[in-house]
Chain A
């Protein structure tokens, strides 16, 4: 998860707070980010599943897109149904390339007359170039550099946030609403990257430290870092860009075909539509699957997957220890004929074949508030 680029690392609005709380800071996506706090990754992970944790995700890019035909214009760069988004509704989709690869996975929100897009930190410069290249002249594209992003995740998140913003209680999963929290104007989204109920809160950089301290002051809330964010999303079966999905992976191979609506499948009109539609119709040659190693040894990214005879059938793209599962968990790509849950595989860990099997994703059932 580290990025060793020699460029000077940036800091989010919460940097000083992280250091004050004893975080271990690491380079990630061009930022100095907390990988863990003194409690450690497992404690932070389990706390998120049982109560609530606050994550700094201010390294991610927040972009607004405005213009007369904004939804139609954005549909020329993503396969998701953007025209069908009701005000306040959010959609998970991808920026795709002409070859059907994934340039980034993004969340698009309809905010009245404009759209907002949250993009991955490591991809935001490339995404902005791509969006401006494709949509210049049609849309006004603004990178909201002055806004922080916090994620409050876990089953108690709603009770905690409702003390300061009661309206959040009535929100459904994948909707967003503007609200004031202790005087700070925020855009609150009921969404996240942990498999738990929770919120992502966008606020001005100068309001963010106060907001973070406010939420961390609640007994149910602890600070959590990128390490726990990674184990939580892996158990929840969610893709990490640059690992589980990238420019050489299509949405269909990644089993993200559910994000492409019937209308978009029929009409096309997004980059790589021919390839993606052909894969939707015929099935991809390989698919993203869960992999459960049988023993205790984690199978990490890059681990070769073979069948029982030792023939290579795929590779692990994310793997580690799942604290809620209580053992190793992984995901990767295998040949489509080997993708059924329960299929026995071998995992080549340090030159040694270890048993495992294809597992249904997610490893931990999601607890989103679908209302």
Chain B
């Protein structure tokens, strides 16, 4: 696994070969509060960077999760259907959402590294 990358929409991406594992960040889960439902795409779906990819629902509201990269969905985290709270307890691990086979690895260059993301969320107040 490579170093994690982060999007301004508060997703994390961890790369293994050309497969990106994607979830939402600790900051995002903290902002959402208790997660009670996650709607994931079909395996095999083609997504483009910026498309709606998943929906995460907290007690309060439903929020779209946008694809931070383009490619084909190769796996989804089925465990979240019974245990959506893993998004709160382990956002960067067991709370992953999808795996995507990258169609355009250059998109990763637009994402932030850990330090840049930390500075980004600090700037959000």
Question: Which chain A residues have a beta carbon within 8 Å of chain B's beta carbons?
Answer: 1, 35-36, 40-42, 227, 231, 296-298, 300, 320-321, 323, 328, 350
CB within 8 Å of A: which of B62-115? 62, 81, 84
List B contacts of A328 (CB < 8 A): 36-37
Determine if A350 and B55 form an interchain contact, defined as CB atoms under 8 angstroms apart.
yes
Determine if B60 and A297 form an interchain contact, defined as CB atoms under 8 angstroms apart.
no
Determine if B37 and A320 form an interchain contact, defined as CB atoms under 8 angstroms apart.
no
Q: Which of B37, B55, B60 contacts A296 (CB 8 A)?
A: B37
Determine if A35 and B57 form an interchain contact, defined as CB atoms under 8 angstroms apart.
no
Question: Which chain B residues have a beta carbon within 8 Å of chain A's beta carbons?
Answer: 33-34, 36-37, 39, 55, 57, 59-62, 81, 84
Q: Which of A227, A297, A350 contacts B59 (CB 8 A)?
A: A227
List B contacts of A35 (CB < 8 A): 60
- Cα distance, A35 to B57, chains bound together (Å): 16
Given contacts A42-B59, A296-B84, 17 further A-B contacts (CB under 8 A): A35-B60, A36-B33, A40-B33, A41-B33, A41-B34, A42-B34, A297-B39, A297-B57, A298-B37, A298-B57, A320-B59, A321-B34, A321-B36, A328-B36, A328-B37, A350-B39, A350-B55
- Cα distance, A112 to B62, chains bound together (Å): 48
Q: Shortest CB–CB separation between residue A35 and chain B, in angstroms?
A: 7
Determine if A321 and B37 form an interchain contact, defined as CB atoms under 8 angstroms apart.
yes
Q: Shortest CB–CB separation between residue B63 and chain A, in angstroms?
A: 12
- Cα distance, A195 to B81, chains bound together (Å): 29
- Cα distance, A57 to B57, chains bound together (Å): 26
Contacts A36-B33, A40-B34, A297-B39: A231 and B59 contacting too (C-beta < 8 A)? yes
Q: Which residue of B lies closest to A38 (CB)?
A: B30
Q: Which of B33, B62, B81, B84 contacts A300 (CB 8 A)?
A: B62
List B contacts of A300 (CB < 8 A): 61-62
- Cα distance, A320 to B33, chains bound together (Å): 14
Q: Shortest CB–CB separation between residue B88 and chain A, in angstroms?
A: 8
**Can you list 17 A-B contacts (CB < 8 A)?**
A35-B60, A36-B33, A40-B33, A41-B33, A227-B59, A227-B60, A296-B81, A296-B84, A297-B37, A297-B39, A298-B57, A300-B62, A320-B60, A321-B57, A321-B59, A328-B37, A350-B39
- Cα distance, A142 to B70, chains bound together (Å): 62
List A contacts of B81 (CB < 8 A): 296
List B contacts of A321 (CB < 8 A): 34, 36-37, 57, 59
Q: Shortest CB–CB separation between residue A126 and chain B, in angstroms?
A: 26
Q: Shortest CB–CB separation between residue B27 and chain A, in angstroms?
A: 13
Q: Shortest CB–CB separation between residue A336 and chain B, in angstroms?
A: 30
Q: Which residue of B lies closest to A350 (CB)?
A: B55
List B contacts of A231 (CB < 8 A): 59
**Nearest 5 A/B pairs, CB to CB:** A321-B36, A41-B59, A42-B34, A40-B34, A321-B59
Determine if B60 and A41 form an interchain contact, defined as CB atoms under 8 angstroms apart.
yes
